[in-house]
Amino acid sequence: MEFKWIYEEQTSSLVRTFLKRQGISKKLLAKIKFHGGKILVNDTEQNVLFSLKTRDIVTVVIPDEEPHETLLADDIPIEIVYEDEHLLVVNKPAGIASIPAQYHPRGTMANRVKAYYVAQGYADQVVHVVTRLDRDTSGLMLFAKHGFAHAKLDQSLQQKQFVKKYQALVAGDVAGLHQHAHISLPIGRDLSSLLKRQVIETGQKAETEYWLKKRNQRCGLVDIQLHTGRTHQIRVHFSAIGCPLLGDDLYEGAMDQGIERQALHCYFLSFPHPFSEQRLSFELPLAADMEKVAETI
């Protein structure tokens, strides 16, 4: 894959310094050097110590990525929301894990995306997961189609340039929900469980913002935006305020209202494109099982 920039600075700079500013890491530079890539300045091959001058054209050729043989391909269709040469956005169904585990090497979205890449004959077949979802959470999930895109997207995540919004069905003390509020409660491990988290004074800072869409005496539909990314954050926070998610038996959610998984759906995702810098935004309707319950509120 080829990337090209025009050096616009008035003072000279080493190629290495310039490429670092473009998001190319030392690891990627090593891959370019030792695995068949190229660095060109004005169509002439140069090394990273070459000194650039104004209006020089810098071209980087990144070698194709070898596929991970350990990631198995599951030939199951995926619902594609958006795709270009750098990105893939899909709608993950509930009940499907994002990535394989040691004793569960297949049956995940990563396995399905691997099969899609193989079927399309893409040169880069390494699956780069940018945003994960819990197994039983449905909705938007982002993959990078090569390592450079992944690195740039991770940088945007660290700079908090991503916006992720969820919708959830909650029960319990729904009368106590505000029309708009922030839940700011620290989250840490629950030592009684390998999976469970809890609100605990010694935990990490966690902030969840929500808007109440509608409610009845039984349950409510809330719109949620995360401002931190702790494990199980939404589930823990709503359980802590007395409104656990429907179907979330790990956090005492009601299991008798037609939802048999945590009623959580990532419906909105927005972030800057890693190369054009144009802000991309994607939105999905509520998942069918949640919509069926929401219609009764």
Q: Are 138 and 271 in contact (CB under 8 A)?
A: no
Considering 124, 134, 248, 289, which one is annotated as catalytic?
A: 134
Q: Tokens for 251, please give them.
A: 């956090």
Q: Give me the helix-helix angle, 26-34 and 147-158, nearest 10°.
A: 170
Round to whole Å and give the CA distance between 18 and 7.
8
Q: Are 271 and 161 in contact (CB under 8 A)?
A: yes
Round to whole Å and give the CA distance between 20 and 38.
16
Round to whole Å and give the CA distance between 212 and 227.
17
Q: Enumerate the β-bridge partners of residue 166.
A: 224, 266
Round to whole Å and give the CA distance between 86 and 107.
24
Distances (CA, A) of 145 to 4, 121, 217, 263: 18, 13, 46, 30
Round to whole Å and give the CA distance between 181 and 73.
43
Residue 134 annotated to the active site: yes
Catalytic residue annotation: 134
